A and B are shown apart, each in its own frame.
Chain A
Amino acid sequence: MVLADLGKRITSAVSNLTHSNVVDEKALDAMLKEICAALVEADVNIKLVANLRKSIRHTVNFKELGAGVNKKRLIQKAVFDELVKLVDPHNEPFKPKKGRSNVIMFVGLQGAGKTTSCTKLARYYQARGFKACLVCADTFRAGAFDQLKQNATKAKIPYYGTYTEVDPVKVARDGVEKFKKERFDIIIVDTSGRHQQERELFAEMVQIQAAVKPDQTIMVLDSSIGQAAEAQSKAFKESADFGAIIITKTDGHAAGGGAISAVAATRTPIVFIGTGEHLLDLERFQPQAFISKLLGMGDMAGLVEH
């Protein structure tokens, strides 16, 4: 993600303000305008941007500020806090335990990167001593099973799928049952891409979920998604109640604001980000570190410590 551009703009807007002699309403408005423009350009949901502006204005209320309050410091902190709020829902994601079967189900829009990411995640856990495996419950997309099979084979991860069964609910149930019997720690279920406008596809997702009873459902989001992110992620949240998000293709050029908006819209933490097409291109996500990286080491660096 080209966070650098967004970060630079925000940092320079804040430092312009804090370096100017007079810190008044007008200067604050100019800074907010610039920050909001930068966020919108980064695809952050436009309603969230409006809220962020309101919140900062509310926190930095010149009329009610007592004498002796450090305005500059207050403004910096308000900006930082609001940005962290965007990516940090204060919700702990599920942590799998060894020695029992942890079922993880992947959901998301078409082409978001589910199949690629579920192999990456299986490999991630495998490398940490979990016995991990994959179930292909995408019976819709042409070549879906071959894709998962080839990925799994490369990563040396056991997999389950079929070329003949067309009911994804049955495939998912059979696969999970088989691997539970074989005492796998991590059983990851890949599903077809779908979108809220197709009710039947959503109903199918709910049925798969009922069949495999996942300990965690993960929604996969493409970092280039725009303003549709909020509505789609909310719809997935309502139907599938996912507990974590993976943002993919962060090696691309998009700033990722759309995907980030999904976090705020659904109060769900990002657990990993995808950073490339290869098996090892997966990184853990940390909101605080993310924002400090976003804002660079400039004037904001001091604020990152809290």
Chain B
Amino acid sequence: TFSFLRSFVGGKALTKEDMDKAVSSMREHLLRKNVAQEAANEILRTVEVSLIGHKTGTFESINNVVRAAVESAIRKILTPTSSLDLLREIHTKRTKGSRPYVISIVGVNGVGKSTNLSKICFFLLQNKFKVLIAACDTFRSGAVEQLRVHARNLKELSEREGGVVELYEKGYGKDAANIAKDAVTYAEQSGFDVVLIDTAGRRHNDQRLMSSLEKFAKFAMPDKIFMVGEALVGTDSVAQARNFNAAFGIGRRLDGFIISKCDTVGDMVRTCPLFNSQQCHTNNPG
């Protein structure tokens, strides 16, 4: 008859067994919300460890204790370890020398790289920067024309908003790293502030395409490399982030994630809390 009280622990030191039920229902909850199993397990493991021996207040339910601990663990994961103030960084770099600030966007196929690149461009134009978009997806049909349309629309906007935008394109079939390098050189000569480099989508388990990213990073020397991950993705998110993070050679990692298509998942989420990278943008429609 007192079984409902069992989930309350007045002033007792918590043991792992006390938490079992609350932890497994929390796991179920996270999985339903599309958190990768690997990530959910990792979060819950740290929470358990941190709570063992923890003295609860009177009539505090274990569920609440666990929930609060999970909440704060997730908050910690999502809080960037370094601050990201793109505008300030670009300004600083521009006052130091002639090389433009270079941002490249990477990710698996169809996640929204080119679209988000255009959104970032819009943001930079609003801040009156001179932006060069480099069309370095030389593989997927229509990739260059897609950016051409975006650049044309952005040009119209820039007439209203300020800033300057131009597209650097060399068609299809050529080596992306070379085009990226040439684009940066061109941008430097022509006084652009920022170069935004679009890249072809690639599977993170494709050795050949992933290894070409190392040369790409060497040639383009990006100040920032952002990976676009879509909110729709399932467990694969963890491996995507891990493999892209490791693809740029020794000493070069991802600088952040852009989470796209947040408007398509309702109340679900997708995070990859295994990296110390920051989530710099989330995308809602518009």
Indicate whether A13 reaches chain B with its CB closer than 8 angstroms: no
Give chain A nearest CB distance to B201 CB in angstroms.
8
| A contact residues around B141 at 8 Å (CB) | 146-151, 154
Q: Kindly state the interface size class of chain B when it binds its partner.
A: 35 or more
Q: Is the CB of B142 within 8 A of A148?
A: yes
| A contact residues around B31 at 8 Å (CB) | 40, 46, 227
| A contact residues around B144 at 8 Å (CB) | 143
Q: Given contacts A43-B235, A226-B232, A253-B204, is CB(A112)–CB(B142) below 8 Å?
A: no
Q: Is the CB of A146 within 8 A of B142?
A: yes
Q: A-B pairs with CB below 8 Å: how many? A: 140
Q: Is the CB of B110 within 8 A of A227?
A: no
| B contact residues around A113 at 8 Å (CB) | 109-110
Q: Is the CB of A197 within 8 A of B235?
A: no
Indicate whether B220 reaches chain A with its CB closer than 8 angstroms: no
> Which of B111, B231, B236 gathers the greatest number of chain A CB atoms within 10 Å?
B236
Indicate whether B178 reaches chain A with its CB closer than 8 angstroms: no
Indicate whether A126 reaches chain B with its CB closer than 8 angstroms: no
Give chain B nearest CB distance to A117 CB in angstroms.
11
| B contact residues around A254 at 8 Å (CB) | 233-236
| A contact residues around B263 at 8 Å (CB) | 195, 197-198
A257 to B34, CA, bound (A): 12
Give chain A nearest CB distance to B111 CB in angstroms.
6
| The one of A42, A110, A229, A277 that contacts B235, using a Cβ cutoff of 8 Å | A42
Indicate whether A232 reaches chain B with its CB closer than 8 angstroms: yes
| A contact residues around B111 at 8 Å (CB) | 111
Indicate whether B264 reaches chain A with its CB closer than 8 angstroms: yes
Interface string of A43-66 (1 = CB under 8 A from B): 100100000000000000000000
> Which of B140, B142, B150, B205 gathers the greatest number of chain A CB atoms within 10 Å?
B142
Indicate whether B37 reaches chain A with its CB closer than 8 angstroms: yes
- A-B pairs, 7 with minimum CB distance: A226-B234, A147-B142, A143-B146, A111-B110, A43-B234, A142-B149, A146-B145
Q: 7 interchain pairs (CB within 8 A)?
A: A41-B37, A46-B28, A109-B232, A113-B110, A224-B108, A227-B33, A228-B266
